[in-house]
Structure 1
Amino acid sequence: MLPIKKHYKIRHKILETLYLLDNETTCAKEIHFNEIYKRLPHTDKIYLLDNLQFLIDAKEITCNKKYDDSLFLILGNGRSAFIERKYLIEGRKKSLEHIYDNLKVVSTAVLLIIAVSTFLVNIMQTQENKNQINQVKTRIDSLKMNFDNGK
C-alpha cells in the first residue's frame, strides 16, 4: 500500500464526516466546526481549517462563515468527491509520481556511474594495449635487427 500524504486523507475524512451526517437526515444538515474537529482526532485545528478552506475553494463544501459559529455543509461536488474517493486516488497518484521521480533520479545517477566507470576502464585498457603494442614493436624491431645482422 502506498503512503498517502496527510492532507489528502484529511480532506477525504472531512467529506466522509459531512457526507455521513448529511445521509443521517432527510434534509441537508450543517455541522459545527467543533463537531468536525471532535470527529477527526489527531488533527490540528489550523490544519483542519486549511483543509476546510481548500474544500470550500474547490466548491465541495460550503460554510456560513460566522467566525466561532461557523457551520459546514457538503455540496453535490463534495458528495461525488467522497463517493469517488477523489482525494485518496489523487494522493496515491501523487505518491506514485513522487516514487517515479525518485527512481528517475536514482537510475540516472546509476547510469552516469556506469558510464564513467566504463570510460575509465576503457582508458586503462587502451593504455595497456598501447604498451603491449609498443612491446611487440620493440620485439619485432629487435628480431629484425638480429635477422639483418645475421645475413
Structure 2
Amino acid sequence: MAKLLLSLHVLAAILFIGPVAVAVSMFPARAKVALAAGPDQASAAASVRLLHRITQVYAMLGIAVPVIGIGTAQVMGIMNQTWLIVATVLTALAAAVLLLLVNPAQQAVIDALGDEPPADGLARATGGLRRLPMTAGVFNLLWAVVTVMMVVRPGSTTGA
C-alpha cells in the first residue's frame, strides 16, 4: 500500500504542481506585454488569462499532493519525522504564497485587462506585477526545497 500511495503522491506532484510552477513563472512576463500597448497585446492578454486559469485549476488539483503525502506518511509510520514536518510546513507556506500573494496579483492583472477597467485597476495591477516575479520565485523555491527534502530525507530513519 505504501508503494502505491508513494507512487500516486509523486505522480500528483509532477502532474499538478508542475503546471502551476510553470504558469506562475510565465505569467509576469506575459502580463507586462498584455498591459502595454503593442502588436502582441491581444495574444499576450489571451495567454495571461490562460496562465491564470491553469494556476487556479491546477492549484486546486494540487491539494491532492499533501493529502496523498499525509496518507503515505501515515501508512509508512513516519508522521513524526522532523524532515517530514518541515516539508509539510514549507508546503503550507507555498500554498499561502500562492493563495495570498500570487493569485491576487494575477487577478489584478486579469481585472485590468477587462473591457472597462476601473481607474485604479491598471495601477493596482502594475503594482502587484512588480512583486509577482519575486513571489513566483519564492513559491517555486519552496516547492524545490520540499522536493529535495522528499528525496534526501535528512535525519530520516527510513533507510534512504
TM-score range, shorter chain: 0.3 to 0.5
More helix by share: 2
Using the size of structure 2 for normalisation, the TM-score is 0.31
More strand by share: 1
Using the size of structure 1 for normalisation, the TM-score is 0.33
